[in-house]
Structure 1
Amino acid sequence: MTSVRRWLLAGLLVLVPLAITLGVLNWIVATLDQTLLILPQSWHPDKLLGFHIPGFGVLLMLAIVLLMGAITSNFLGKQLVVWGNALLSRIPIVRSIYSSVKQVSDTLFSENGNAFRKALLVQWPREGVWTIGFLTGMPGGDVVNHLPGDYLSVYVPTTPNPTGGYFVMLKKSECVELKMSV
């Protein structure tokens, strides 16, 4: 009986993550396929081909993202983004949501590519207590003028939810870069 129980548990350990992953991917593809609804009815791939092929919405979203990137990469596009940001920052509820999402995206998709790419061993929350943090960059703006010496901006995740955490500025000399993948 113990072998059957062990096999059942081993099977569940393999199949449950696989089933959840496939379910999430199916949901993502189905959701992105809904973007096809923005096209005129006569342009829908289902109408043109006569049958449904899942994933065309993924291609459409990829095309939209690439087009948006191309448009916003020139001077006029950058100016439109600045105006759009200024407009959204004036709308009370939208401002809170948009600024939070924008900060996260700016950090994750930063041009320098260093955000959360390096793990650091840091003393936090007090000297003598060590934890792992993630380098997010160097302090900027007016903050630099008030910090004596070289500092790093570090994100220290918390448990049980690692998306919550502390953003701290620590002396560069007190941070140990770890040789581990992030």
Structure 2
Amino acid sequence: MTEIPVKISFATRLRNSFLTGVLILAPVTITMWLVWTFLQWVDSWVKPYIPARYDPEQYFDVAIPGFGLLVAVIGITLIGFLGNNLIGKWIVGVGESVLNHMPFVRPIYKSIKQLFESVLKEHSSSFKKVGLIEFPSPGTWAMVFVASDATGEMAYRFNEIGQEMVAVFLPPTPVPTAGFLLFVPKDKIIMLDMSPEDGAKLLISGGLVAPDFTPKTAVEPVPDQSSS
């Protein structure tokens, strides 16, 4: 029996074309707006401190977006370079010693420094792995970002009950900026091969944008022994 093709009305085609255009333009437009807003924000902080003779806008009479960001990146890199030599380390040590002796400033500085060290240091394993845990009930699985093994008092308390626990971050969909810090037994986590970036895409899209996956080891077929 020949199937009769379904005719699509002009209004439906027009709506589909509009939605396709939104899907194409919205991510590009929002990304460009965020980048432009970030550049303007950095420039508004950095440019007032740049001497006029070093500002190219004084010579070309044209606003150069991102020049403040470029200066900030170069300045931060130079500070990091100086901080790696002996004189720089001594200066940093003196500055930290002063901050550590200030009653109200010390806890704030130590907390912020510990946070940045745990995130930015090369040896840090924070949120470099993605896993699955049973949540909120057995048989239901949720994707988490693995932070690190339990440390400090948390590790001590877990060792008392004979449990090796891992700290994981369970973000909601589609906004991963908030979530839950959970301590899960290490043997209860199914580790995934996907990167945290791919995990974030999967999370934000509500499961619609799944990363490509190729098993590391393919299952070899069982040879047919009936003919032997």
**TM-score bracket for the superposition, by shorter chain length:** 0.7 to 0.9
What is residue 14 of structure 1 aligned with on the other side?
Answer: 24
| Structure 2 residue corresponding to 1:2, chosen from 12, 21, 24 | 12
In 1, Cα distance between equivalents of 2:12 and 2:139: 46
What is residue 193 of structure 2 aligned with on the other side?
Answer: 179
In 2, Cα distance between equivalents of 1:89 and 1:156: 35
| Structure 2 residue corresponding to 1:121, chosen from 124, 132, 139 | 132
| Structure 2 residue corresponding to 1:40, chosen from 48, 51, 57 | 51
TM-score normalised per structure 1: 0.78
In 1, Cα distance between equivalents of 2:139 and 2:96: 44
- In the alignment, residue 123 of structure 1 is paired with which amino acid? E
After TM superposition, give the deviation of residue 143 of structure 1 in Å: 2.7
Q: Which has the higher contact order (CA 8 A, sep 6+)?
A: 1
After TM superposition, give the deviation of residue 125 of structure 1 in Å: 4.4
What is residue 176 of structure 2 aligned with on the other side?
Answer: 162
After TM superposition, give the deviation of residue 71 of structure 1 in Å: 3.6
8 A contact 1:88–1:95 mirrored in 2? no
What is residue 33 of structure 2 aligned with on the other side?
Answer: 23
What is residue 165 of structure 2 aligned with on the other side?
Answer: 151
Deviates more, 1:148-157 or 1:114-123: 148-157
- In the alignment, residue 137 of structure 1 is paired with which amino acid? S
What is residue 223 of structure 2 aligned with on the other side?
Answer: none
Gaps of 5+ in 1: none
In 2, Cα distance between equivalents of 1:88 and 1:2: 68
8 A contact 1:153–1:169 mirrored in 2? yes
Aligned residue pairs, count: 179
Deviates more, 1:163-172 or 1:103-112: 103-112
After TM superposition, give the deviation of residue 113 of structure 1 in Å: 4.0
- Aligned in 2, Cα 1:3/1:102: closer, same or farther, shift over 3 Å? farther
- In the alignment, residue 31 of structure 2 is paired with which amino acid? T
TM-score normalised per structure 2: 0.64
| Structure 1 residue corresponding to 2:144, chosen from 133, 136, 148 | 133
In 1, Cα distance between equivalents of 2:133 and 2:103: 35
Identity of aligned residues (%): 25
What is residue 55 of structure 1 aligned with on the other side?
Answer: 66
In 1, Cα distance between equivalents of 2:102 and 2:21: 50
In 1, Cα distance between equivalents of 2:92 and 2:167: 27
After TM superposition, give the deviation of residue 60 of structure 1 in Å: 0.6
- In the alignment, residue 170 of structure 1 is paired with which amino acid? V
Q: 1:169 is paired with a residue of what secondary structure?
A: strand
Q: CA RMSD in A?
A: 3.1
Q: What is the 5 A alignment of 1:65-144?
A: 65-74=76-85, 75-80=89-94, 82-83=96-97, 86=100, 90-91=104-105, 95=108, 99=111, 105-125=116-136, 127-144=138-155
- In the alignment, residue 95 of structure 1 is paired with which amino acid? I
After TM superposition, give the deviation of residue 84 of structure 1 in Å: 6.5
